[in-house]
Amino acid sequence: MASLLNVVDVEATCWAGEPPAGQASEIIEIGLTVVDPARRARLDRHRILVRPERSAVGAFCTELTGLTQADVDAGVSFAEACRILASEHATTRRGWASWGDYDRRQFERQCAADPATYPFGLRHLNAKARFARAYRLARPVGMDRALAMAGLPLEGRHHRGDDDAWNVSALVLHLIGRGAWPQHPHK
């Protein structure tokens, strides 16, 4: 059976400037799209809302993501979200990709601060860097600009985890079609 790839995007609590005293940026939404690189297809789309413990969703964050404090209050703990990722989405066995390294680093930071087990294996691919290489860009571009450059539509709402994971997976498939994605990235 061909290797599947998880494409992940997270949204975290955020502010227009520095975080308020005593608060730290925490994951509040995890979007995940399962991609079958061999079939060049997006197979499934998932969303996990995560309840923050050391921060609150303010007006700036709601404006950016569309998520409210009430939305995330109904979510699961970060530790439970990590458990769900590993058990339901085979994240320790599958490779994964994200647009840049922010998502990977946010998981690493939060797992170090929370009693949570890091839910991913070591096989992370930076789709943003691969896109920049494929297009010979001097500097990487944002996901929305990359979609426009590739002639792909922005589907859903930008800065929503499930929508962004879906859009990044379209870019991964685009790179596969151009021969600009590793055929066996996990060997």
Which tokens go with 162?
């499930």
- Biggest alpha carbon–alpha carbon distance for the chain: 50
Distance of alpha carbon 135 from alpha carbon 111, whole angstroms: 34
pTM of the model as a whole? 0.95
Can you say whether the dihedral through the CA atoms of 92, 51, 126, 112 is positive or negative? Answer: negative
Distance of alpha carbon 144 from alpha carbon 158, whole angstroms: 8
User: Each residue's pLDDT tens digit in the chain (187 positions)?
Assistant: 359 999 999 999 999 999 999 999 999 999 999 999 999 999 999 999 999 999 999 999 999 999 999 999 999 999 999 999 999 999 999 999 999 999 999 999 999 998 899 999 989 999 999 999 999 999 999 999 999 999 999 999 999 999 999 999 999 999 999 999 987 655 4
Look at residue 2 in the predicted model and tell me its pLDDT. 57
State the Cα torsion 89-53-74-92 to the nearest 10°.
0
Superfamily (CATH H level) for 5-177? Ribonuclease H-like superfamily/Ribonuclease H (3.30.420.10)
Q: For residue 160, which of 61, 52, 91, 73 has the smallest C-alpha distance?
A: 61
How does 115-152 read in b/e, with b if 16+ C-beta sit within 10 Å? ebebbbbebbbbbbebbbebeeeeebbebeebbeebee
